[in-house]
Chains A and B, each alone.
Chain A
Amino acid sequence: MLFGRVRGTAVASIKYPDLTGMKLLVVEPLNKHLEPIGPLQVAVDVVQAGPGDLCVMVRSREAALAMQIHTFVPVDLALIGLVDELVVYPDDQFDLTLKRGSKKYT
């Protein structure tokens, strides 16, 4: 699951029949610092997002399962949440390496 910013909409009048009525959005995948991490992709919208919205997206088979009526559809990216607030602490506050030997975290 990853972040994405809605950058536009796509309209396809002829598409897989079970996808009729689903909104297609062009999204830009982002990392936690909201920096782009890849090219623009198309995602199916189930939360009524609009251009400029920051969203949480889900990939692979689970994207198709996010559809409301037909879940056996050719969908590989879906928007499943609209982000209202995002708090990310800088990486240097945490020890992100696996050191050899024993370590207690609590």
Chain B
Amino acid sequence: MINLTSPLKEGQKNIPDMILGKVTGTVVTTISHPHYKKRRLLVVQPLTLPDDPPEGDFVALDNSQAGVGDTVLVNREGNGARQILDNPDGCVISVIVGIVDSLHIEDWE
């Protein structure tokens, strides 16, 4: 029986589905899966609050013509990715779906 409310075990990561990140690199792949053709792969580093430890980087498919240095909105979840790429069987998880123009974070507590 799976307890859905159990805390995460060690090594298990709770990855949020929709995040803000910074594009820090580019990837060139000439041989790739057909679902990855015609779009670029970019290296994204998630943004974190100043007190929090840095999160692991990942590779995302670019759907919004982002470039290195851009702050981007990334969808890290397969169903949304398949909808964006208009491919019901797409094997893509992370897709860059927007470029952030401005950000406002309230001061809480």
Q: Mark A residues whose CB is within 8 Å of B.
A: 1-3, 31-32, 37, 46-48, 56, 58-63, 65-66, 71, 78, 80-89, 91, 93-106
Contact = CB atoms under 8 A, between A and B. Distances in A.
Contact of A80 (B25, B36, B47, B48): B36
B97 interface: no
Contact of A47 (B32, B60, B93): B32
A97 B48 contact: yes
A31 B30 CA distance: 20
A94 B41 CA distance: 19
A37 B94 CA distance: 19
Interface string B33-45: 1011000010101
B47 A98 contact: yes
Interface of B: 20, 22, 24-33, 35-36, 41, 43, 45, 47-50, 54, 56-61, 68-71, 78, 81, 89-94, 99-107
A82 B106 contact: no
Contacts of B49: 97-98
Nearest to A47: B31
B60 to A, nearest CB: 7
B59 A1 contact: yes
Nearest to B32: A81
Contact of B93 (A59, A88, A97): A59
Nearest to B72: A105
13 contacts: A1-B92, A32-B25, A32-B43, A47-B32, A58-B92, A62-B91, A62-B92, A78-B91, A89-B25, A91-B45, A91-B54, A105-B102, A105-B103
A104 B32 CA distance: 36
A3 B43 CA distance: 10
A1 B77 CA distance: 10
Contacts of B30: 82, 84
A86 B43 CA distance: 9
Sorted from nearest, which 5 A-B pairs have the closest CB atoms? A88-B25, A81-B32, A81-B29, A66-B91, A85-B28
